[in-house]
Structure 1
Amino acid sequence: MDRREIAALLAYIGRLDPRTTRTDQGEARDQLAQWHELLSDVPMATPHGWDARIAARQHIRVSPYQILPSDIARPWESYRRDRLHRHTDPTPSADPDDQAAWTAELAGTRRAVAIGTAQPTQYRQIASRPIDPGVKARLREVGSCIPPEARSALAPFRLARAAREAAIARGEPDALSVRCDWCQAPVGELCRRRRIAPDGFARGNAPRATPHHCRRDLAAQQAQQSAMT
């Protein structure tokens, strides 16, 4: 805020709380200089929810103490912090090889969000937006959001999942849809390789790439019962 805005804010506060009004010209000048020094980087209002007069009115309404510049600056810092926490940097339009332009655009976007002249940018995944009908149709067509080529490339690194998908492709029931009675693995989790020491305690609990036979048999029984019903 510039000095004229500070003066307007002090006049507004004086109407709500006469204790802040300075009748002496020298005291009023000193008060104006003090508030301007402390609030020069705080805007009077922004297009997206901030208004220093609302912050002042809220303090006067709920607090019995005379308002200070910090009672305006503190809500402003909370406002800035909340907006930056909700902001995710969009990809700059500048050339990535031009480091100076790339950094300057990122900093400018953050600054605009922080001072309230631009709205925070959120990830599409966490924003409440409907799914494109074309995407839904494509997923129904291919059956998965992972292309077959990518799935084949990932198979050597996801042995357990690859074995599960291969079993389902062969028409076998999904063993991970039931709980394993041998290793007590819950639904959806891999079976565990339990090695028992002579004292009776388990010495190993590594995941297995394939489910236990009893788990596959139980999944087959449940699938058969479901088909009969």
Structure 2
Amino acid sequence: MDRREIAALLAYIGRLDPRTIRTDQGEARDQLAQWHELLGDVPMATPHGWDARVAARQHIRTSPYQILPADVARPWESYRRDRLARHSDPTPSVDPDDQAAWTAELAGARRAVAVGIAQPAQPRSITSGRDGIDPRLRARLREIGSCIPPAALAALTPYRPARAARETAVAQGQPDALSVRCEWCLAQPGEPCRRRRVGPDGGSRGTAPRAAPHPGRLDLAATQQTEQVRQPAMA
């Protein structure tokens, strides 16, 4: 609050509690300077629920003691803490390699929430998928094609052969075998097939992951892909 807003707040408090009124000009000037020094960083009101007059009226209504600047500052600090506790940092829309811009956007969003200019951002549901991505971030992801640079993908290929084979097949227009459940090794959708070693007693002795899916899983994925293409054509 600036000095004019502090003067308006003191005038409002004086109407509710005449004990705070200073009739001497020097005392009134000192009171104004004291309140401005202690409440200069506290806004008079914000678009989202804070009003210094409400805090002052609440104190006067519930306390027999004369109001002090701390009786306005304490509710303001509680208001700030509550908003920041309910805030979940959204992903900045800037380039993550630009550390200064990334940090500045995070700090700016937190500051706007703390001072009541913006509402706290709630964490998105895990099931929201790509619908919850910021539009600017979605546009950048479309531009670069993947959140992982191509050079990094190539370097990771030897360490995840199943995923590399899947991405290659999809890029070539072949059916995505990992999109269906494998009836042979019982691998769930998204998981690579596993090599089952059967012992003499009929039990499984090992389940090492396979780089290539089982042939039956490929056939099932191809059948599903054909059905998906046929249904729109029939409609």
Alignment correspondent of 1:150: 190
How far 1:150 moved relative to its partner?
Answer: 3.0
Give the SS at the match of 1:124.
Answer: coil
Residues paired across the two proteins, number: 143
Amino acid at match of 1:13: I
Partner of 1:9: 9
Q: 1:62 to 1:101 in 2, by over 3 A?
A: same
Is the partner of 2:100 in helix, strand or coil? Answer: helix
- Normalised TM-score (structure 2): 0.56
Question: Where has structure 1 moved over 6 Å in runs of 4 or more?
Answer: none
The corresponding residue for 2:83 is: 83
Work out whether 1:54 is the aligned partner of 2:54: yes
Query: Which residue of structure 1 lines up, in the alignment, with residue 112 of structure 2?
Result: 112
SS at match of 1:150: coil
Matched to 2:7, the amino acid is A
Change (3 A) 1:107 1:131: closer
What is the 5 A alignment of 1:25-174?
A: 25-125=25-125, 148-152=188-192
5+ residue gaps, structure 1, are 135-141, 155-162, 164-229
Name the CA distance, whole Å, in 1 between partners of 2:51 and 2:192: 56
Partner Cα separation in structure 2 for residue 108 and residue 99 of structure 1: 14
For 1:77 and 1:153, locate their aligned partners in 2 and report how far apart those are by CA, in whole Å.
Answer: 56
Give the letter aligned to residue 123 of structure 1. Answer: P
* Gap regions ≥5 residues in structure 2: 132-179, 182-186, 195-206, 208-235
Q: Given the superposition, is the C-alpha separation of residues 47 and 19 from structure 1 closer, same or farther in structure 2, using an over 3 Å criterion?
A: same
The Cα shift of 1:63 comes to 0.1
Give the C-alpha shift of residue 125 in structure 1.
2.6
Match of 1:21 in 2: 21
TM-score w.r.t. the length of structure 1 is 0.57
CA RMSD of aligned residues (A): 2.9
> One-letter code of the match for 1:34?
Q
Task: Call closer, same or farther: CA 1:119–1:24 in 2, change over 3 Å.
Answer: same
